[in-house]
């Protein structure tokens, strides 16, 4: 699994950091998403998927394949 973000579309709603703080944070400078771990361990993969679903701007993509390039 790999997490990708489109930071340019992020508006800083913070749902990712609120629901998956082990994987996401918000920048102190602009409040936009920061990925803390783009290859989450198996125990946190459900949180990555939840953050993807809850993002109001759809800036988070969770790629399931390990060799996503």
CATH number for position 27? 3.30.70.20
In a domain, 58, yes or no: yes
pLDDT score at 65: 77
Confirm whether 7 is domain-assigned. Answer: yes
Q: What is the CA radius of gyration of the chain?
A: 11
Residue 31 resides in a domain: yes
Q: How many domains does the chain have?
A: 1
Note whether residue 10 is domain-resident.
Answer: yes
> Is position 13 within any domain?
yes
pLDDT in tens, 14-61: 999 999 999 999 999 999 999 999 999 999 999 999 999 999 999 999
Residue 4 has pLDDT above 60, yes or no: yes
Range of the domain at 33: 2-63
Which residues, 6+ apart, have CB-to-CB distance to 48 below 8 Å? 1, 3, 20, 23, 40, 60, 62
């Amino acid at each position: 699994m790999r997490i990708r973000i489109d930071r340019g579309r992020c508006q800083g709603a913070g749902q990712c950091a609120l629901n998956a703080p082990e994987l996401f944070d918000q920048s102190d400078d602009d409040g936009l998403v920061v990925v803390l771990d783009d290859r989450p361990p198996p125990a946190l993969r459900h949180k990555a998927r939840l953050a993807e679903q809850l993002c109001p701007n759809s800036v988070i993509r969770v790629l399931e394949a390990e060799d996503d390039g």
